[in-house]
Amino acid sequence: MRILGIETSCDETGVAVYDDDQGLLSHELYSQVKLHADYGGVVPELASRDHVRKIVPLINKALADAHTVPGDLDGIAFTQGPGLMGALLVGSSVGRSLAYAWNIPAVGVHHMEGHLLAPMLEANAPAFPFIALLVSGGHSMLVNVQGIGRYEVLGESIDDAAGEAFDKTAKLLGLDYPGGPLLAKLAEQGEPGHYKFPRPMTDRPGLDFSFSGLKTFAANTIRDADNAPQTQANIAYAFEEAVVDTLLIKCRRALKQTGMKRLVIAGGVSANTRLRDKMAALMKQLNGEVFYPSLAFCTDNGAMIAYAGMQRLKAGQHTPLSASAKPRWALDTLPPV
């Protein structure tokens, strides 16, 4: 089976061709970072228009690079939600239109299921069951994964997601957009012991996340500090440590609660080096294993959508061509495969 995958949930246009025998045949990604940089964040209308401009050329290139013509495809997978409504409509409209024109089935993919299954694109893929930590700009959640579509959300963000807190704190430090990776780079120059940030919601039971208070603590710390480069680096270090430690504590709880020995970490924040190092140390201590997607597949991409869509198409699931995009969509409502 060969699938065309289309991702347009936010500010990246991703297209890929995946074959269940040959693996990933092509992978195209266009980022809108420069477009939104002047505004310090994603402008939904601009994002939608840019998806319209880029999506067809990217589809043509992905097909050409995969030496694939429409007649070779067995289906199309597109991100149906969650995400920005206008951006989702671009990918879903194009995906469904091509499916109709080429007379092949289409399937709408849950964006977070795509991230959750992204490590399956790697040679060392995790086996079910496992605990998944999904951390990105819009989501932070812990999921008990028994199989594809068999998800129990154990905890999630009640306000700011981890990636959102990274970006907002980076903006307070005067860093460019997107600030998360730049804050992490600045933190490499920081020294421990200068600042102590709270680890939110770790002093009480439960697996939910809250990073808005940590962002406020960072804002107050930055306001009261000097502008010396080393001071800024020390603040970045303390903030990153607080976020990583919080995620670590919650993952340890989830693993203990479920008795799992496998941990998957996916989403944009999963590219953070300190997070990877600390999670690797945790799983070694617990005699378990940790799995990540490669860096190219941590952020939004078409490959993860193609893979997730293929699993559902193989199971005989498809999406009616009349179906609408879903800007809000609970992960644990998906049907099992």
**Residue set of the binding site for Fe cation:** 111, 115, 300
C-alpha distances out from residue 25 to 148, 221, 284, Å: 23, 48, 34
Residue 65's contacts (CB-CB under 8 Å, 6 or more residues apart) are 17, 25, 26, 28
Q: Which residues sit in the known binding site? A: 111, 115, 134-138, 167, 180, 272, 300
Residue type, 90: V
Task: Report the 10 Å Cβ neighbour count for 304.
Answer: 33
Strand-pairing partners, residue 77, are 5, 107
CA distance 51 to 36: 13
Q: Which residues sit in the known binding site for substrate? A: 134-138, 167, 180, 272
Nearest to 218 by CA among 239, 199, 241: 239
Sheet of 2-7, strand order: 23-31, 12-19, 2-7, 75-81, 106-110
CA distance 322 to 286: 48
